[in-house]
Structure formats: structure tokens, C-alpha cells
Structure 1
Amino acid sequence: MPQNSQAPGMNEQHSPANSSPHPPTVGKLRMVLPGLAACLATGLLCIFASQFLNGLSALLLAIILGAVWRNVAPVPQVLDPGIAIASKQLLRMGIVLLGLQLSIGTILGLGPGVLLVVFLSVSVTFALTLWIGGKMGMDLPQRLLIATGFSICGAAAVAAAENVTRAKQAQVATAIGLVVLFGTLMIPAMPLLGALLGLDDRSTGMLIGASTHEVAQVVAAGGSVSAAALAVAVTVKLARVALLAPIIAGLGIYMRRKHSVEGGKNPPLVPLFVLGFIAAMLLRTTGLLPDSALSIAQSVQTLLLAAAMFALGLGVHLRSIVKSGGQALLLGLLGTLIIVCVAAGGTMLYPPA
């Protein structure tokens, strides 16, 4: 009897499965591989398809595909671990590489008037959206996510703010869904508004870049006007993206102070990937990287962000937006109107040179 009672422990101790350090890693890889492969493959497909779909970028197409799939058909659970990796790690890697598109010299070259419009578009939209959401009685994390996404760079900004705001997954999905909804409506609306205001192509590009939520949506809207409009729109939009770092750092400081009494793990002051974004921007500013390296980095960035956008789209539940009682939808509409008004007024006062 004593020998039998010890046998299980001895067998378990000398079992090859338990003595090897590799199986847990291999098992985790097997768990994430299906979903990760699905997101990357869809990202590649969207990049290919966008070449034949005028005005529809790969990133926008990816997030729409993900949202459609989530809301019309069940997503197999086996994909969930990989989707989670794509929506966080791949997105952060893509944001870091996005910094390589930003040169401090290019941003400063916009001129003080345009830079003032960029600053006001971000700061006024963020502050007023946050304040209005508070008056509506919305939870702080939800209105922080909406304010950040609508004022800076859409879904990427929402995801960047997710950790520091201590937001729930449903709140993240709602904010992303609103970015997709209103940002997509802005693709035809902003060029039309520019024409109604009598703006030339460059000024219309400035209006698009200073107001439209997603980088991908800016590309689609600007490209529908002209090459000149697209060039200005992307540069102005990337100037807004550059404000991602200070906004996230400010949110980190605020949330750390707010929750310091409650104990537990504090949100980071500045997430590591935001520091990577800043480092990439500084590296681009030095001019040390050859054009070939920047081209490769941009291709990789597009793939990573397209895969991440598909994963984020898979988290968009239209029911969650409906269940919010219309408050989130109303706040998204008001946030969009605020940034459009600030951008339009600023463009007319300080048109691009």
C-alpha cells in the first residue's frame, strides 16, 4: 500500500511532460496561433483588396470586416487568444512604427497657425467631450476613451488609453464602434463641407486632417479630393497623432492620483509603446534611416495595424452601443461636431501656406 500511494507522485515527478520547460510555451503558441494567423491573413487580404477599392483603405476595410463578422455570425472561441494578442501587442507595435512617419521638422513646417489649429482641435475636443460626458452621467473610463479616440487618432488612441483608464472591454468596444461609425461618415462629409465653405484643395486637406478620426479615414477622404489635399491632410493628421504621447501621459498621471488611495496596481505613467512611438519619431527626425528602410517599416506598420484593426472590429458589439441607452452615441455625435467646428473655424482663420 505505501508503494502504491507513492507511485502517482513518483510518476508525476518523472513524467516527461512535467520535466520539460518547453510544453507550456508550445501550448500557449498553439492557443494564440489560429486567431493571430486569422488576423494577419485578413490584414494582408485587406491590403491587397484596398488597391482595387478606391477610397477604402486597408485599415478601414479591416475594422469593418471585423465588426460585420462579430455582429452577423459567431466567432469561434479558438480564435479568441490570438485575437487578444493582435488587438493589443500587434497594435502597439504598429503604433511604434507609426512614429517613423513623423518628423519634427515636417510638423513644425506646417507653420504656427496650422499647429495652433491642430492643438485646439485636440485639446478643445478632448476637454469638451469629457465635460459633456460627465454632465450626461457617463462613467469616467467610457468618456475618457471617447474623448481620446475622437480628438487624436481613433481606434489606436482608444486602445492606447485602455490600460491607463482602467476601462472595461465593453467600454473599449463601444468607443471603437463609435469611431468607426462617425469616422466613416466623415469620409464623404468633410470634402463636401470643404466645398460648401469654398476652400481650396490644400485648405480642404487641412480641414480633413484636423477633424477626421482615423488616419485611414483621413487618407480615404483626402484622396477623394486631390493629391495636394491628401498630402496636407496626412501631415496635419500626423501632427495630431504626435499629441498621443502627452495625452496618454497626462491620463496616466491623473488616473494614478485618482486611484492612489484605493491601492492595487497603479496604471503606468507612460506606456512603454508610447515611449517607443516617441523614440521612433526622434529617429525619423535624425534622417539616419534610408528611404528603403522607411518604406519597409511602413509596409510592416500597415500590416500590423490592419491585423489589429480587424481584431478590434471583432470586439465591436452593436448591442453594447444600443445598451448604453444612446448616451455614448450622442456623445460621439457631439464630439464629432465639436472637432469639425474647431477645425473648420481654424482652417478659415489660418489656411495652410
Structure 2
Amino acid sequence: MNSSMFVGLNLRSRELLPGFIVSVVVAAAASFLSEHYGAPVMLFALLLGMGLNFLAADSKCKAGIEFTARTVLRIGIALLGMRITLGQITALGWQPIALVITLVVVTISVSVVAAKMLGFQRLFGMLTGGATAICGASAALALSAAFPNHPQKEKATLFTVIGVSALSTLAMIVYPMIANWLELSPQAAGVFLGATIHDVAQVVGAGYSMSTETGDTATVVKLMRVAMLLPVIVCAAMITRMQGADSTGQRPPLLPWFAVGFLLLACINSTGWVPVVVQGGLNELSRWCLVIAISALGMKTQLKELASVGIKPILLMVGESVFLVLLVLTLMHWWF
């Protein structure tokens, strides 16, 4: 029995290895380009992956690419919990917490309604709204993993990741200018940047480009938005369960295992017992898992499919970003 299990595992690993190695190579190339040219690593990973989409049809690489796009993605999402501590959240007081909860709930709700008005499924609105309101590409990937299988799911996910990555890069340049124009204090500017820019890396870049205090505040507010990923994933799973079985005849779990892992790691990280070197290592592992997974996702799509989405999805994502900025500035005017 043990011998047959070992042989089975060996055969499975040999089946998955080529596709996984290709995904790692693409992720490494994307990281190199990102470090040297300053664009988001997720965007480079997607574009490079799409340039190698013929590999997803190759019998040697197909299984490994599928595994990487699904399982490695979920591992990376679970490891995001190591970025969060309860102490970081409570240190800023109740206003930023209320701000983050409000902006996430309102932005996703408005996005769902807007998507329906534009003729899309509500889940597409939740996908783009969650990416805008929570943590950019990571949120899009996490929500997509919680949704039921659908022929258009991967296409919608890839479009959302590309759109939110591009908008996040633009926001990193423009939003500090808005903060200076509004003459916000360093802490208020940090709250504004942390509450509006999509991806963590861009928040850090924009915040510390203004001042250390702004960067610290922006990072903590952004991590509070990342913490909202868990309840939103649970809500998404509940909605998809209420809608019934997916295209494979299976109902998604009420609480996906990667969401449980996210929560457990956030609680462990909050104890303060995790050494800094371990915390940093797991955060880096999370980043690599997500980049590798999105490289695999890129290989599973066709450029011509993304080019056929039309103007409406673009308008939806731009509108969501503008709405988020206006909502945050309004809430800050009332509460700060």
C-alpha cells in the first residue's frame, strides 16, 4: 500500500513539475522586469504568461499549469494572513476601522449594482469591486477562487487583475498629488493613500514618497483593507452556495480552506511570537506564490479574448476607482 502510494505521488509530481517550473521561470522574469522598470510585478507576470499561452495546451505542461493556477494561488492567499495583526488595526483608533469597513461594503455594493446595470453578472461586479476596495490583484484572485467554476471566470479574473494593476500604478503617481493639492496632514494623507490605492506595493511606494509618517499610516490602513478579505470571501462563498451548484455540479464550501488559513495566520501573527525573519520569509513566500500563480493564469488565456471585452468593463473599473476616491474623501471630511 505504502509503495503504491509513493509510486502514485511520484507519478503525480512528475506530471505537475513541467508546468510548475515554467510558471516559476515566468514569475522570476516578471520580478526581474518589475525591479528594473518599476511596473507592477503582477502585470508583467500576466503579460509574459499570456505570451506563452500555447504551453497550456501542451500535454506535458497543462496539468502543472492548472495545478499552479489553482492550488499555488490558494496557498499564497492563505499566507497573506501573516501581514495582519490586531495591534496594527487598533492603534489608529475607531475612525480608520469604520472608514475601511464602510468603503469596502459600499464600494462592492455599488459595483454589483453598476455591473448589473451594464449587463454583467453580479459576481463580476463583486470581483471588480472587491479588487478595487480591498487589495487589488490579490483580492481578485482570492474572490475568483471562492466563486463557482464558470466558462468566463478566468477571462474575467485576468481582465480584473490587468485593470486593477494598471489603475494602481496610475494611482501611485496621481494620488500623492491629490493629497498635496488638498493640503492633507501627513497622517490624513496616509489614511487617504492607504484607503484608495489598490495594491499594497503601490501604497507603500506612494506613502513613503511623501513622508515616513504618511508611509507608516498608509501601510497600516492598507493592511486593514487586506483584513477585510476574509469576511468578503465568506460572503462570496455564501452567495454562490445560495445560487446552487456550479458548472461541475459541486457547491463551493462555505468557508474555503485558504480563508481559514488566512484567519489562523493572522491570529498567530497577532500574538507577537512570530520572529521577524519568519514573518518576512512567509510574506515573501506569499508574494512569490501569487506571482507564480498569476503567471500560470496568464498562460491559460488568449490575448484576443481579453481584447474582445469591450469598453464597458473598462468603464466599470475606472468608475469604481473614482467612486472610491470620492467616498473616502467624503468620509474623511465627516470623521477626521
TM-score (structure 2 length as normaliser):
0.86
Q: Where in structure 1 are there 5+ consecutive unaligned residues?
A: 1-18
State the Cα distance separating 1:324 from its structure 2 match: 2.5
Change (3 A) 1:261 1:316: closer
The equivalent residue for 1:237 is 222
Give secondary structure in 2 for the equivalent of 1:138: coil
Q: Residue in 2 aligned with 1:120?
A: 102
Which residue of structure 1 aligns with residue 305 of structure 2? 320
Aligned: 1:96 with 2:78: yes
Question: Could you tell me whether the CA contact under 8 Å between 2:18 and 2:64 is conserved in 1?
Answer: yes
Query: Is it true that 1:36 corresponds to 2:20 in the alignment?
Result: yes
The separation in 2 between residues aligned to 1:65 and 1:220, in whole angstroms, is 18
| Preserved contact between residue 91 and residue 156 of structure 1 (Cα < 8 Å) | no
Paired with 2:83 and 2:248, the residues of 1 have a C-alpha distance of 39
Decide which of 322, 326, 334 is 1:337's aligned counterpart. 322
What aligned pairs does 1:1-353 form with structure 2 within 5 A after superposition? Answer: 24-44=8-28, 47=31, 56=39, 60-61=40-41, 63-70=42-49, 74-77=53-56, 78=58, 79-166=61-148, 167=150, 168-259=153-244, 264-315=249-300, 317-351=302-336
Q: Secondary structure at the match of 2:139?
A: helix
Q: Is the 8 A contact 1:321 1:329 kept in 2?
A: no
Q: Give the 3-state SS of the residue equivalent to 1:152 in structure 2.
A: helix
Residues 82, 348 of structure 1: alpha-carbon distance in 2 compared, 3 angstrom cutoff: farther
Q: Point out the structure with max Rg over C-alpha.
A: 1
Question: 2:144–2:157: 8 Å Cα contact kept in structure 1?
Answer: yes
Q: Which residue of structure 2 lines up, in the alignment, with residue 14 of structure 1?
A: none
Measured in 2, the distance between the counterparts of 1:74 and 1:251 equals: 29
**Cα gap change, 1:222/1:84 in structure 2, threshold over 3 Å: closer, same or farther?**
farther
Q: Give percent identity, aligned residues only.
A: 26
TM-score by length of 1: 0.82
Letter in 2 for 1:64: L
Residues 182-232 of structure 1, C-alpha deviations (whole Å, 9 max, x = no match): 222212121121122112333222212111122233233324333322221
Where structure 2 has 5 or more consecutive residues not aligned to the other structure, the ranges are none
Which residue identity does 2:91 align to in structure 1?
Answer: G
Worse overlay, 307-316 or 101-110? 307-316
Name the Cα RMSD after superposition: 2.8
**For residues 291-313 of structure 1, what are the alpha-carbon distances to aligned partners after superposition, in whole Å with 9 as ceiling and x for unaligned?**
23223222322322332343344
